[in-house]
Structure 1
Amino acid sequence: MKKLFSSEHAFELQAVRSELDALSIPYMVKNEFASGALGELPWQEAQQELWLVDDTWFHRASKVVDGIKANFASSQGGKGQEGREWVCSSCGEENGSAFEVCWQCGDAL
């Protein structure tokens, strides 16, 4: 057995599980019900992990994980800005990464 994936984001973990299920890639979930032990155990010890039952699936399963990680990272960055400030193309104003609309002129990113 080989550890494939672990995440503190339940949505990301569920996305990987759904893709593995769709591709019929055999896996098991470690610590699936361990969240009730938080406080008694450190959070790292109670975090859910996905393990491959059959190591021959590792290459294909890794591609699934890499794709989901990339999608998750880009969605967290705000329309592909990946946490960077941006300059409005209309008025030239610098805007923070949290803004999708220019605070000066109201033009969209």
Structure 2
Amino acid sequence: MKLVYTHENPIMVNNIKNILAQAGVETLLRNEFSQAGLGEIPAFDTWPELWVIEPLQYEKAQQLVEAIKQQHNAPAWFCTQCHEENDGSFEICWQCQHEREE
């Protein structure tokens, strides 16, 4: 097993877990409930961790995680249909559901 992703927010880790599962990558979630020990355990040691079970799937998982991180850091864009500003990670306008144009 290899660690592919960790984050202080369990929602982020579970989101990545779901995306990897859709891509056929089998994972294991560790430290899911360890935040209850915060104070007794250092903060970074309580972060949820996502591990890839099959070593041959690790590279695929890593590429998917990197692609997700890049989408998250993408600049905001304006819809050509309704001119609403959208977060860079959106592929469809939240206001009018028009697809993003490059």
Bin the TM-score by the shorter chain: 0.5 to 0.7
1:7-36: CA deviations, max 9, x gaps?
Answer: 123343222111111122111111011011
Identity level (%): 23
**Partner secondary structure for residue 29 of structure 1:** strand
TM-score by length of 1: 0.63
Match of 2:76 in 1: 79
Q: CA deviation at 1:63?
A: 1.3
**Partner secondary structure for residue 41 of structure 1:** coil
TM-score by length of 2: 0.67
Give distance in 1, aligned partners of 2:45 and 2:63: 26
Q: CA deviation at 1:69?
A: 0.9
Q: Pairwise CA RMSD of aligned residues?
A: 1.7
Q: CA deviation at 1:72?
A: 2.0
Gaps of 5+ in 2: 78-102
Give the number of aligned pairs: 77
1:9 corresponds to which letter in structure 2?
Answer: N
Poorly superposed stretches of 4+, deviation over 6 Å = none
